[in-house]
């Protein structure tokens, strides 16, 4: 029915609210009856066969127009709940879900560029047609998208984005030994918070990439080293 917890409510709170049936027995009883049987067809179960509304197919028969998210802006304020509108792509049409998650090699190859385009759209509307992003090494694409998002909203400075990208490259290429990285002599609060923010947003983008069926080579584990970021973090003019 699409109503959350309805089954649990009917089972626990409504006396005789649910009961089990055997379809084979019901069919035999219907054959013995002199009345014309009433046949009920669940059309929503066949929705994807005859409807081109891919968004509705992905989100259910009742497409969500809004969703509630939890917002916590800093360590000193309590969290709040904010309702935001759900936005779907209009310039591009998402493939069917079964095609997005298909393991067929031919299907994966044919849809790769569309998947990457959808991934860029999640990052920003500005990136839908920026095909030059396809030239970015697959292991660094998520990092670049995360940094683009953070820069677009003014969450990080340019030198911080450069440093995070440099460390991501070094981690990915194995250009230093993490075990040999010394502990910083002092803890920089902003560097600590930026590292936390980068990792959280990267994990979110990685989940998006996985839901789009983007190959694993595009979504490696977070390429970040907190010790190295602290050791190389320098405020301009400091």
What are the pLDDT digits (tens) for 106-123?
A: 999 999 999 999 999 999
> What stretches of 80-196 adopt beta strand conformation (E)?
80-85
The pLDDT confidence band at residue 64, using thresholds 50, 70 and 90, is low
Higher pLDDT, 180 or 9: 180
Count CB-CB contacts under 10 A for residue 54: 17
Nearest to 122 by CA among 51, 212, 36: 212
Averaged pLDDT of the chain: 83
For residue 62, pLDDT over 50 is answered with no
For residue 185, pLDDT over 70 is answered with yes
Residue 84: strand pairing partners? 67
Look at residue 233 in the predicted model and tell me its pLDDT. Answer: 94
Look at residue 52 in the predicted model and tell me its pLDDT. Answer: 46
For residue 131, pLDDT over 70 is answered with yes
The pLDDT confidence band at residue 43, using thresholds 50, 70 and 90, is low
Q: How far apart are CA 127 and CA 152, in angstroms?
A: 12
Say what the pTM is: 0.69
Q: How far apart are CA 159 and CA 165, in angstroms?
A: 10
For residue 74, pLDDT over 90 is answered with no
For residue 8, pLDDT over 90 is answered with no
Q: How far apart are CA 215 and CA 218, in angstroms?
A: 6
**Where do the domains of the chain lie?**
97-232
Nearest to 190 by CA among 146, 220, 221, 160: 160
DSSP secondary-structure letter at 213?
T
Whether 210 contacts 219, CB under 8 Å: yes
Provide, rounded to the nearest whole percent, the portion of the chain with pLDDT above 70.
85
Return the structure tokens found at 136.
């970015």
Higher pLDDT, 47 or 106: 106
Look at residue 34 in the predicted model and tell me its pLDDT. Answer: 73
Give the H/E segment covering residue 198: helix 189-211
Q: Residue range 49-59: average pLDDT? A: 47
């Amino acid at each position: 029915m699409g109503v959350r917890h309805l089954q649990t409510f009917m089972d626990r709170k409504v006396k005789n609210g649910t009961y089990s049936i055997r379809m084979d027995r019901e069919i035999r009883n219907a054959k013995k009856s002199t009345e014309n049987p009433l046949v009920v067809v669940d059309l929503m179960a066949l929705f994807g066969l005859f409807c081109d509304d891919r968004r509705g197919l992905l989100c259910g028969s009742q497409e969500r127009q809004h969703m509630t998210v939890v917002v916590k802006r800093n360590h000193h304020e309590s969290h709040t709940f904010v309702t935001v509108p759900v936005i779907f792509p209009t310039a591009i049409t998402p493939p069917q879900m079964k095609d997005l998650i298909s393991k067929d090699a031919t299907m994966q190859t044919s849809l790769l560029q569309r998947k990457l385009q959808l991934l860029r759209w999640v990052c920003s509307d500005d990136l839908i047609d920026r095909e030059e992003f396809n030239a970015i090494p697959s292991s660094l694409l998520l990092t670049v998208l995360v940094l683009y998002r953070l820069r677009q909203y003014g969450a990080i400075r340019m030198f911080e984005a450069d440093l995070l990208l440099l460390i991501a490259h070094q981690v990915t290429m194995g250009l230093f030994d993490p075990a040999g990285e010394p502990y910083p002599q002092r803890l920089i609060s902003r560097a600590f918070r930026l590292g936390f923010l980068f990792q959280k947003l990267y994990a979110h983008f990685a989940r998006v990439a996985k839901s789009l069926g983007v190959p694993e080579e595009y979504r490696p584990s977070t390429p970040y080293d907190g010790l190295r970021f602290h050791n190389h973090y320098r405020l301009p003019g400091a």
